[in-house]
Structure 1
Amino acid sequence: MLLAACVSSQMPISPANDDVDAAPPPPTVAANGSSDEQAASCDLDAIQYAIGEPFDAAGFSQLKSDSGVQQVRVLRPGDMATMDHRPDRLNIHLDDQDGIEALRCG
């Protein structure tokens, strides 16, 4: 009885209520341990040619296309970055002269 007083009248009591959005299903994991998210990962081998090259807008587009990623993050020396891992993100690490120092997925 006491718990019923804490429940909002807008909150459905039954999870079978059709008005409630269901949580998305978890990613499927194959027998080899790879998941749906890993299938969308970037291709570093295809973009190794860019290391040591100057970074510019044309290079940005080409690296995104060649690696097959959805997102690109450019990091300069001293930049702060989140630690979340995103297999579909390319991280472009630049040196002080905006040359491409390293390329990493995640």
Structure 2
Amino acid sequence: MRAITTLIITVALTGCLAASPPVPAPDTFVPNCGQDRFRGLVGQDAAILRELDLPGTTRVVKPGMALTQDYRPDRLNISIDEDGLINRVWCS
């Protein structure tokens, strides 16, 4: 009988213990493609891209071009509009 009482008290008190808050997961998808170095290209003619040493994972996006939806934080994307001007630089 004493063992059962001890067990019931132990179970009851266990429910009173405060659970530690969950630790947030580290942000593993922080863009790291070097976009900040190339933001100054926005508004310039796309021909300038031939003179630059772009990262190997760079994707130049032209109007109407189909893109994959996979996310790669190391991939630099440079979008060119219909007039041949760079209109966006971003990581994905």
Please indicate the TM-score interval, normalised by the length of the shorter structure.
0.5 to 0.7
Between structures 1 and 2, the one with greater helix share: 2
Work out which structure has the larger RCO, using CA pairs closer than 8 Å and 6 or more positions apart in sequence. 2
Q: Is 2:44 the partner of 1:53? A: yes
Q: Is 2:74 the partner of 1:83? A: no
Question: In 2, are the aligned partners of 1:47 and 1:63 still within 8 Å (CA)?
Answer: no
Question: In 1, are the aligned partners of 2:34 and 2:76 still within 8 Å (CA)?
Answer: no
Question: In 2, are the aligned partners of 1:70 and 1:88 still within 8 Å (CA)?
Answer: no
Q: Is 2:71 the partner of 1:62? A: no
Q: Provide structure 2 residue ranges, at least 5 long, that are not aligned to the other structure.
A: 1-23
TM-score (norm 2): 0.60
Using a 3 Å threshold, how does the CA distance of structure 1 residues 54 and 95 change in structure 2: closer, same or farther?
same
Taking only the aligned residue pairs, the percentage that are identical comes to 28
Pairwise CA RMSD: 2.5
1:34 to 13, 27, 32: 27
CA distance in 2, matches of 1:82, 1:90: 13
Using a 3 Å threshold, how does the CA distance of structure 1 residues 62 and 45 change in structure 2: closer, same or farther?
same
Kindly name which structure, 1 or 2, has the bigger radius of gyration based on alpha carbons: 2
The list of structure 1 runs, each at least 4 consecutive aligned residues, that deviate by more than 3 angstroms after superposition, is none
**SS of alignment partner, residue 71 of structure 1:** coil
Q: Provide structure 1 residue ranges, at least 5 long, that are not aligned to the other structure.
A: 1-30
CA distance in 2, matches of 1:60, 1:78: 21
- In structure 2, the residue matched to 1:17 is none
